[in-house]
Amino acid sequence: MTTPDLGHLITAMVTPFAKDGSVDLERAGQLAKKLLDEGSDGILVTGTTGESPTLSHEEKVALWEHVVDAVGDQAAVLAGSGTYDTAESVALSREAERVGVHGILLVTPYYSRPSQEGLFRHMASIADSVKLPVMLYNVPGRTSVNILPETVMRLTAACANITSVKEASGDIDQIAEIIRTVPKGFKVYSGDDKLTLPVLAIGGVGVVSVASHVAGTRIREMLDTFEAGHNRKAHAIHLQLLPLFRGLFRYPSPVPVKTALRLMGFDAGGVRLPMVPLTAEEEAWLTKLLRDVKLL
């Protein structure tokens, strides 16, 4: 399968909620358009930044449908259809394909901590159930399980539609090994904003970003200047934004980025339990951070 052109900057979009806690579909479409206007090449809907563990099956499908309708003719829309339940992930992925998304993201099963063989069978079962391109998502700090490079290689050999990985292990050596061994055309994205430039330097293609909600134009500039060979300028932008990359994860995500969006004029609503809003002191710290990096 030809790897789809997802571009370099994919935003893992938050899910807007109305005041009553319901999903705000209209606001989701508006946010997707805003992110594209600010430099994103693609939108990931119902990833973990989108609070996917608290969304129902029906809410996820409605979000995919609405965002595809809003921006699907302008950019790639990816659906976070992976869960810790293989059967449910298959069902969600088939629904994602039905509504017209351009690819799916499969997070490693959380809590259950499957073996590498279990990871392989889980991912392969889902990939085999659809024709959509599949992006693996490795985030052991959240799921407590790490997809090893050899398992990634095994999956690419077994499933032609597994075409990319969002790597958030934080292990540059592991990421380099994946880049070194995967087939030509397989794309490796940083899953961590603060490692975007290092991952690009070793052969990655871009980032699935959280910070692009509020600094999309500057991240776009960093990616473009690096690709053009202007490394010093890219380094300077990276260092300017590094406090933001770190700060958006000082408190449980996506609470800081949703708060930052509101402070910068786009209200995406609150968060669902077990997430809770920032305290007044925490919000004051975030406001100062946004001012320090010249976003407010």
- Is 254 a domain residue? no
Task: Write down the pLDDT at residue 60.
Answer: 98
Whether residue 257 is contained in a domain is answered as no
In a domain, 245, yes or no: no
Burial class (CB in 10 A: 0-12, 13-18, 19+), 149: buried
The predicted structure's pLDDT at residue 116: 98
pLDDT at 5: 79
Secondary structure of the chain in HEC code, one letter for each residue: CCCCCCCCEEEECCCCECCCCCECHHHHHHHHHHHHHCCCCEEEECCHHHCHHHCCHHHHHHHHHHHHHHHCCCCEEEEECCCCCHHHHHHHHHHHHHHCCCEEEEECCCCCCCCHHHHHHHHHHHHHCCCCCEEEEECHHHHCCCCCHHHHHHHHHHCCCEEEEEECCCCHHHHHHHHHHCCCCCEEEECCHHHHHHHHHCCCCEEEECCHHHHHHHHHHHHHHHHCCCHHHHHHHHHHHHHHHHHCCCCCCCHHHHHHHHHCCCCCCCCCCCCCCCCHHHHHHHHHHHHHCCCC
Total domains in the chain come to: 1
Distance CA 36, CA 259 (A): 20
Q: How far is CA 46 from CA 3, 63, 111, 155, in A?
A: 22, 8, 19, 23
Q: Please confirm, yes or no, whether 19 is among the known catalytic residues.
A: no
Per-residue pLDDT of the chain (296 residues; tens, 9 = 90+): 344 578 999 999 999 999 999 999 999 999 999 999 999 999 999 999 999 999 999 999 999 999 999 999 999 999 999 999 999 999 999 999 999 999 999 999 999 999 999 999 999 999 999 999 999 999 999 999 999 999 999 999 999 999 999 999 999 999 999 999 999 999 999 999 999 999 999 999 999 999 999 999 999 999 999 999 999 999 999 999 999 999 999 999 999 999 999 999 999 999 999 999 999 999 999 999 999 999 99
pLDDT at 73: 94
**Active-site pick, 166, 187, 194, 258:** 166
- Residue 207 counted as domain residue: yes
CA distances (Å), 45 to each of 60, 267, 272, in order? Answer: 8, 17, 16
290 occurs within a structural domain: no
Please identify which of the residues 84, 137, 189, 251 carries the catalytic annotation.
137
Here the CATH number for the domain that contains residue 77 is 3.20.20.70
**Residue 138 is part of which domain span?**
9-231
137 is catalytic: yes
Q: What is the CA radius of gyration of the chain?
A: 18
Is residue 270 domain-resident?
no
Q: Look at residue 15 and tell me if it is in a domain.
A: yes
Answer whether residue 294 is part of any domain: no
CA 166/CA 191 separation, integer angstroms:
5
The pLDDT, as a whole number, for residue 13 is: 98
